[in-house]
Amino acid sequence: MAHLRPELERRFAGTATTFPGLLTGEELSSAYAAADVFVFPSHTETLGIAMLEARAASLPVIAADSPTARELIRDGFDGLRFDPLATESLVSAVTRLVEDPSARAFMGQEARKAVEHATWAGATETLRRHYERAKEMSVCRQRRWRRPAPATRWRGTGQPHQDHIEEAA
């Protein structure tokens, strides 16, 4: 998305949009307090800490559609997701919240409620579940699927034979 920044700055020229870059500490806290929305363009984020921080500050998050964004953001309820490959999708999401202060306020309140009980332990447990799921998928991929020859595929009942699983050597 970094390559889209000049285009986005051009599109939002003359508006109250700011592209601050990296902020930390008090500067970051002040930015959250002064913001109306938080735009998160990364679709490779794994934990979503910045999204959680923004939500804790009662900001609706506009995030690139990704597994993390899908897990954290209920699209249209406490934030918006956009297609990271379509600039117009991002512009549309930002425009929607800029032009609708009541939707922005509602989503910000819901975002805050959603993270009020978030903890590091909860985030760690979620990450652990993702690793377990990846491990299970890896085991499944180690199996080879062997289908019966086409002549023996049907029993005459109209139902296909069950596929045979053969463990990889």
Q: Are 32 and 61 in contact (CB under 8 A)?
A: no
pLDDT of residue 102: 96
Per-residue pLDDT of the chain (169 residues; tens, 9 = 90+): 567 788 888 988 998 888 888 888 999 989 998 999 999 988 887 778 889 999 999 999 999 999 989 989 999 999 999 999 999 999 999 999 999 999 999 999 999 999 998 888 887 888 888 888 888 887 777 664 445 555 544 444 444 444 444 444 4
Are 24 and 76 part of one and the same domain?
yes
Residue 99 domain-assigned? yes
Are 107 and 133 part of one and the same domain?
no
Are 52 and 83 part of one and the same domain?
yes
Range of 84's domain?
2-118
CATH code of the domain containing 79? 3.40.50.2000
**How much is the CA Rg of the chain, to the nearest whole Å?**
23
d(CA 140, CA 129): 17
Residue 155 domain-assigned? no
User: Helices 101-115 and 87-99 meet at what angle, rounded to 10?
Assistant: 100
Are 71 and 129 part of one and the same domain?
no
Are 144 and 100 part of one and the same domain?
no
CA 56 to mean position of chain CA atoms:
17
If one counts the domains in the chain, the total is 2
Could you tell me the pTM of the whole model?
A: 0.64
